[in-house]
Structure 1
Amino acid sequence: MDQKDILVQVKDLEVYFYNNQRCNKAVRGVSFDICRKRTLGVVGESGCGKSVTASAIMRLLPQLARIEKGSITYNSEENGPIRVDRLEANGRIMRSLRGQEMAMIFQDPMTALNPVYSIGFQIGENLQYHTAMNKKERREKSVDLLRSMGIPAPEQRVREYPHQFSGGMRQRSMIAMAMACDPQLLIADEPTTALDVTIQAQIFELIEKLKETRETAIMLITHDMGVVTELADDVIVMYMGNIVERGTVEEVLRTPAHPYTQALLESIPILGKGKNQVLEPIKGSTPDPFNRPPGCQFAPRCDYCHERCSSMPEEVSLGGTHGVRCWKSGGKPV
C-alpha cells in the first residue's frame, strides 16, 4: 500500500482503564492503517477492544481511560500528519477535526441522538460549527442529506424528532449527520445493530456509495462476519485487546490461520446447508480482564493449546498482507 493512501496510522496503541485501584489493559499494542477508499473491518467478540480503539482515534474515551503508549497519526490533506494522541480531547484542534475531517456513527442511535432536538437541528449543528452556512443554507443541506440517505419526505422529516423515526431511519439520520461535512474518515460502530435485513442492505449500499464517490476511508466495527464479507476490503481480528490476525478479506476469511478466527467462522450458519448443519460454538468464555491467563489470551479456549502458549507469540507473516499471532501458524517473523 502506497504511504500517501494511508489516512490514519495507529502504532503500538495501548489504552488502559483505571477503576477501584485496578487497571484494565483494554487495548494492548495494537497497530493498523486505515486507507483512503478502503474499508477496514474490525471483528471480534464483545469486550475485545473494538469500540475502545475507535474511541481512542476520535479522542472520545471516558475520563477513567488513558492512552498509555503508542501513536495515532492522522494524515490531513491540508495540515499534513497530526498526532491525534497528543491533542487535548476537547481542545480547539481536536474539535475542528472531529465532525469535519473524521466522524463516527455510534452503535445505538437512540442514545446518540438527542431526543429534545429535531433531526434537522442536530444535523445543522455540525454544519454551523464547521462551515460558514447561514440558517437557510443549513436547513437545505440537511434536507439534501436526508434525501441522499433514502429518507422519504425529507422536507417534513427534517422538522421531526428521533422518537418519530423508525430504527432504520434513525440510523440513516446518524449517517447523514456524520457525512454532513464530507469527512475523510468514517468510523461505523456496528451500524446495523438491531436492524432488519432490508434496512441493513440499504445501509451497506450507502456506505459503499460514500467510499466510492467521496473517497472516504471507513473503519467498520462489527462481530458479524457476513457484514465483513459484504463491505470490508481489509480485516483485523481482535481478541482481549490484541490483534490476533490481519489481512485482506480473501486472506483472512478463505484461509483463516488463527484458531480464534476459525472458531468465529465455524459458529456461523451457512446459507443453503439447511437446518441439519452443525454449528460449533466457541467453547468457554472470555477471561476476566483483571485476571488474564499468561501468554496467548485464547489458550484456555483453544483446541491447539500447547506449552509454548504460556508466552505470547509475535506476529508472523503468511505471505502478502496476511499476518497472525499464533505458535501453530508456521509463518515467517514480520
Structure 2
Amino acid sequence: MPDDVFDDHCAAIVRSVSTVIDGKADAVRLALTVLLAEGHLLIEDVPGVGKTMLARALARSVDCSVSRIQFTPDLLPADITGVSVYNQNTRDFEFKKGPVFANIVIGDEINRASPKTQSALLECMAESSVTVDGDTYTLTSPFIVVATQNPIEMEGTYPLPEAQRDRFMARISMGYPDADAELAMLRSRELSSPLDSLTPVVTVEQLRELIAAVRRVFVSTAVEEYAVAIAQATRRDREVRVGASPRATLHLVRAAKARAAIDGRDFVLPDDIDALAVTVLAHRMIPARRTGDTAAVLSGHSIADVIERIVAETPVPVVAAAS
C-alpha cells in the first residue's frame, strides 16, 4: 500500500472517531494503533466518560462485521461463543455461532460478568478460534476485541484475571473532558447522537491492507533488544511481584510498529517503545506491595511510575533508519 494511501486511511479513521469523541485525540490515536497492530483494547474508566462511545465509533468507522456483548452477572460462556443445538430434522447437533464471530467485538463492562464467563474469551483472544464440544472454529480475520470496564472497586464488578488482562494489547483511560469539549458535547448531542450519522470510511479489505503494511515496518535488532531489556527489568524489579510476560514484549513491539506507521515511518524508533511502554505493560503487572491509595494501585498508576523509571534507566540504543 502506498504511503499516501495509508496516511489517508488512517486520517479518515481518526476524523471519523473524533466526530464522536470530543477532545480525546490521544485516546483515539491509541485505539487506532491497537487496531492496526491486530491487538485487543481495554478501555477503563468511571461510567459516563465515553468508553463505549469510543468502542462503537471505532467499529462503525470500518465496514466490517461488528457485534456487541453486554456483560452481566448472569451471562454464560455459551452466550459469547455459541452453542450446539439439536436439529430434529437432521437428527444431529448444529453449532449456532455466538457474537464473538465478528471482526470487531465490543465487550461492554466486561468485568461485570463472572470469571467463568470472562474465561470464554481466553481462547478467542489468544488464538482467534473457539472450541465447543470438541470442535474448533476459526474466527474471521481480522478479529479484535474492544472491551470497556469500570474501576474494579465499583459495586457489582469482578477483577479481570491475570490471564485475561495479558491478552489485551493495551489499556487506556478516557478521563474527563475539558470544559470546551464538554460544552461542545452538550450542544452537538442535544437532538441526536453523533453515532447516527457515522458511516464507514474504510472497508474490511482496506483494513487488512493497513494491517499488512504495519507488519512490514522494520524493527532493528537494537530496538528488539531494547524492548526485551525493559520487559526483563520489570521481572527483576523489587517493586513488582509479577512483571511483563513474553506476550507483553511481543505486543509492545507490534504496537510500536503501528505507531511508527501512523507517524509516516517504515522503521521503529526507541521513542515508539518509550511512548507505549506504560499503555502496553502496566495492566499486566502486579505490584509487590500495596501502599497508599488502593484505587491508584489497582488502576495501574503506581505501576506506571515503576515502568517510567525502568524505561528511564534502560540504556537507549542508537538506531539507524532502514535502508
TM-score, normalised to structure 2, is 0.28
TM-score, normalised to structure 1, is 0.27
* Higher strand content, 1 or 2: 1
